């Protein structure tokens, strides 16, 4: 067996965060209930041709009205934490604090109370992609006034919900917001007309908005509420397509720097990474521009952004193989990176074309974070796998995925000294998988959409994940017998 294939026995640290995640637009439904404003996803899903089979989040899993069912599901998994997100337009219908929708706040208050009563700690995401449409109408993430809007929104949430929340996530996956929403146009708001400049403007504003929210918490709420605030970045891991070619190693490095590093470098190390700055500058000059398309942070901004984290939030799904490609003088985000990525044909496929099973990459990515950002505490805020096609509650592929990936996390922790403090399974429920609608199912629980009651039924992976949780990892069977987990 290779080092990757060998099962490592051992346990995570005491009080390890074991969680499962959802996001407001993917599960809540109730898209016009109780004064909620419209979001860019409401508009996007109602635009013909954007979502597979015209699926929408109008009803989704109806979690707005089925809170008790979701809590029951969480109890069955025996998670210590639950990660969910707040719908910005449910709380602030036009995105601003001119009008606070009390009914929206009440819903989240009730959810927090129900979680705490069930002994489950909340992990709350402020922004999981459902921007108030009213803010998009004035430019969305492209308009720098959004930094203030986001700061004020964060302030409302910290003030009203903060006494019950110890873990906050400002943004979910700035890379996906930027690249799928503002380069490819596959996600709301659906832009693909300025792939040369728009991604850099949008990301610049998101990074600043994150920093302002962190400072609000730090200045006004930390002393009394004593929680942790950070951002969740997602990233693939990249390996060289040809491991005997130096240039393929450099291509792989570019992928990670343009993915994880785009956001993590300013927040954890200060400023964009030298490699990203150099690549965008060179490509801009090659296109005849007088200066780089990458905006600059002023020295004051660099100082204000640097260190705005209390832990490292990571979403990870899979790895890719990278090799360099000469894009000539093309002015495009992809050309700046100068790389094309592919999968290895032997990597097991899943229900999502972009996701192949590559457990080895997670350990390497975690080690990269440790080395690059001075060993921060890391919470994996998403990791998981999908299926599509006919329903099969015996989801062996998901058990395989979780066992292999979580064992790599254990190796990172015990063998590489990575400061792992939590793991979150995506997702608790089968839900609206964005542009592909309800066809790709990431849930631990199956949601039967042909039944108007939308019942949640546990897949086989629920008992696997819950036994892993009660074991706090993979205790050596030789030290057993362990009721929690037995590999034999
Ligand atoms: C994440 N990709 O999104 C999101 O945070 C979830 O809301 C989503 O349901 C989950 O992963 C599964 O997709 C991603 O194309 C969307 O590489 C797309 C990609 C990665 C993550």
Given a cut of 80, whether residue 226 has pLDDT beyond it is yes
Q: How far is the CA of 305 from the centre of ligand 1 (A)?
A: 26
Query: Residue 108: CB within 6 Å of ligand 1?
Result: no
The answer to whether the CB of 62 is under 6 A from ligand 1 is no
| Nearest Cα residue to atom 15 of ligand 1 | 354
440 lines ligand 1 (CB under 6 A): no
Q: SS3 string of 428-444?
A: CECCCCHHHCCCCECCC
Q: Which two tokens stand for residue 144?
A: 């720098």
pLDDT higher than threshold 80 for residue 92: yes
Residues 213 and 229 sit within 8 Å (Cβ to Cβ): yes
CB atoms within 10 A of CB 275: 16
- Tell whether ligand 1 has an atom less than 6 A from the beta carbon of residue 25: no
pLDDT in tens, 435-450: 999 999 999 999 999 9
The upper half-sphere exposure of residue 204, i.e. CA atoms within 13 Å in the direction of its Cβ, equals 16
CA 463, 464, 470, 475 dihedral sign is: positive
H or E segment at 123?
A: strand 121-127
Q: How far is the CA of 352 from the centre of ligand 1 (A)?
A: 10
For ligand 1, whether the C-beta of 354 sits within 6 Å is yes
**Which residue has a Cα nearest atom 16 of ligand 1?**
176
Q: Give the integer Cα–Cα distance in Å for 395 and 380.
A: 22
Distance 195 CA to ligand 1 centre (A): 20
User: What are the tokens at 287?
Assistant: 């296109």
Determine the pLDDT at residue 281.
98
Burial (CB < 10 A; 0-12, 13-18, 19+), residue 65, is middle
Beta strands in 151-226 (DSSP E): 167-172
Are 124 and 164 in contact, with CB atoms under 8 Å apart?
A: no
Q: Considering Cα of 367, then 372, then 376, then 378, what sign does the dihedral take? A: negative
Q: Do the beta carbons of residue 16 and residue 482 sit within 8 Å?
A: no
Do the strands 167-172 and 228-234 form a parallel or antiparallel pair, or are they unpaired? parallel
Ligand 1, atom 13, lies closest to the CA of 433
Show contacts of 475-483: CB within 8 Å, 24+ apart: 475/9, 475/10, 475/11, 476/9, 476/10, 477/9, 478/9
pTM: 0.98
- DSSP, collapsed to helix, strand or coil, labels residue 403 as helix
- CB under 8 Å to 420, separation ≥6 — which residues? 12, 13, 16, 366, 377, 378, 380, 409, 412, 413
Distance CA 234, CA 176 (A): 8
Nearest CA to ligand 1 atom 2: 354
- Please say if the pLDDT value at position 487 is more than 70: no
Helix (H, G, I), strand (E, B) or coil at 446: strand
pLDDT given for residue 488 in this prediction: 37
Cα–Cα distance between 283 and 199 in angstroms, integer? 15
The C-alpha atoms of residue 354 and residue 350 are separated, in whole angstroms, by 9
Minimum-distance ligand 1 atom for the alpha carbon of 318: 17
Contact 238, 180 (CB under 8 A): no
Convert the pLDDT of each residue in 163-191 to its tens digit. Answer: 999 999 999 999 999 999 999 999 999 99
Which of 21, 234, 354, 424 for a ligand 1 pocket mutation test, highest count of atoms within 8 Å of Cβ?
234
85 lines ligand 1 (CB under 6 A): no
- Residue to substitute in 171, 315, 385 for testing ligand 1 pocket (most ligand atoms within 8 angstroms of CB): 315
Nearest CA to ligand 1 atom 8: 433
Q: Report the alpha-carbon distance of residue 251 to residue 247 in Å, rounded.
A: 6
pLDDT at 75 over 90: yes
382 lines ligand 1 (CB under 6 A): yes
DSSP code for 178: H
Interface confidence (ipTM) of the complex: 0.93
Residue 302 has pLDDT above 70, yes or no: yes
Q: What average pLDDT does the structure give for the chain? A: 97
Catalytic positions are: 173, 382
Q: 285-299, 397-411, 447-461, 473-487 — which is least confidently predicted?
A: 473-487
Q: Which tens digits make up the pLDDT trace of 398-430?
A: 999 999 999 999 999 999 999 999 999 999 999
Q: Tell me which residue has its CA closest to atom 9 in ligand 1.
A: 433
The whole-number pLDDT of residue 485 equals: 62
List residues bridging with 271 in a β-sheet: none
Helix 396-414, helix 460-471: angle, nearest 10: 20
Provide the 8-state DSSP code for 441: B
- Cβ proximity of 352 and 440 under 8 Å: yes
Q: Is 234 in the pocket of ligand 1 (CB under 6 A)?
A: yes
CB-count exposure of residue 341 (10 Å: 0-12, 13-18, 19+): middle
CB 433 near ligand 1, within 6 Å: yes
User: pLDDT for 34-71, tens place per residue?
Assistant: 999 999 999 999 999 999 999 999 999 999 999 999 99
* pLDDT, position 279: 98
Q: What is the Cα–Cα distance from 371 to 311, expressed in whole angstroms?
A: 15
Alpha-carbon span 4 to 375, nearest angstrom: 22
The predicted structure's pLDDT at residue 486: 52
Rg of the chain on CA atoms, in Å = 22
For ligand 1, pick from 27, 174, 382 the residue to mutate: most ligand atoms within 8 Å of CB.
Answer: 382
CA dist list (Å): 413 to 42, 234, 330 = 41, 19, 42
Close Cβ partners of 435 (under 8 Å, ≥ 6 residues apart):
50, 51, 52, 186, 187
Ligand 1 centroid to Cα of residue 167, in Å, is: 21
Three-state secondary structure call for residue 127: strand
Ligand 1 pocket, 426 CB below 6 A? yes
């Amino acid at each position: 067996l290779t080092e990757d294939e060998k099962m490592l026995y051992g346990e995570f640290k005491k009080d390890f965060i074991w969680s499962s995640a959802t996001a407001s637009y993917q599960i809540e439904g109730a898209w016009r209930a109780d004064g909620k404003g419209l979001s860019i996803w409401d508009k996007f899903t109602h635009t013909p041709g954007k979502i597979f089979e015209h699926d929408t989040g109008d009803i989704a899993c109806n979690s707005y009205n089925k809170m008790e069912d979701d809590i029951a599901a969480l109890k069955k998994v025996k998670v210590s934490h639950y990660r969910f997100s707040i719908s910005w337009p449910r709380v602030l219908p036009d995105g601003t604090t001119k009008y606070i929708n009390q009914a929206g706040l009440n819903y989240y208050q009730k959810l927090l109370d129900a979680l705490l009563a069930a002994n489950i700690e909340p992990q709350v995401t402020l922004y999981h992609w459902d921007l108030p449409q009213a803010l998009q109408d004035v430019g969305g993430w492209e308009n720098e006034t959004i930094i203030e809007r986001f700061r004020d929104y964060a302030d409302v949430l910290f003030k009203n919900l903060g006494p019950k929340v110890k873990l906050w996530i400002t943004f979910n996956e700035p890379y996906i917001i930027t690249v799928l929403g503002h380069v490819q146009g596959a996600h709301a708001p659906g832009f693909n007309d300025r792939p040369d400049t728009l991604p850099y403007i949008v990301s610049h504003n998101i990074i600043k908005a994150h920093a302002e929210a962190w400072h609000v918490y730090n200045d006004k709420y930390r002393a009394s509420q004593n929680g942790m605030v950070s951002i969740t970045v997602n990233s693939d891991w990249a390996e060289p397509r040809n491991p005997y070619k130096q240039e393929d190693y450099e291509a792989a490095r570019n992928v990670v720097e343009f993915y994880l590093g785009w956001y993590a470098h300013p927040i954890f190390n200060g400023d964009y990474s030298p490699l990203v700055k150099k690549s965008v500058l060179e490509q801009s000059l090659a296109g005849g521009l007088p200066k780089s398309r990458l905006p600059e942070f002023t020295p004051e901004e660099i100082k204000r952004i640097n260190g705005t984290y209390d832990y490292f939030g990571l979403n990870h799904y899979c790895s890719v193989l990278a090799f360099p490609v000469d894009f000539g003088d093309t002015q495009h985000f992809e050309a700046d990176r100068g790389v094309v990525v592919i999968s290895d044909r032997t990597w097991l496929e899943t229900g999502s074309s972009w996701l192949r099973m590559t457990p080895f990459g997670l350990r390497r990515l975690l080690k990269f974070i440790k080395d690059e950002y001075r060993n921060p505490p890391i919470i994996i805020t998403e990791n998981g796998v999908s299926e599509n096609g006919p329903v099969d509650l015996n989801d062996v592929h998901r058990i395989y995925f979780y066992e292999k990936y979580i064992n790599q996390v254990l190796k990172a922790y015990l063998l590489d000294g990575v400061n792992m403090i939590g793991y979150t399974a995506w997702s608790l429920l089968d839900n609206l998988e964005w542009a592909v609608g309800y066809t790709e199912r990431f849930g631990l629980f199956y949601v039967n959409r042909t039944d108007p009651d939308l019942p949640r039924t546990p897949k086989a992976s629920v008992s696997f994940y819950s036994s892993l949780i009660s074991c706090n990892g993979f205790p050596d069977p030789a030290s057993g017998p362990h009721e929690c987990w037995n590999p034999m």
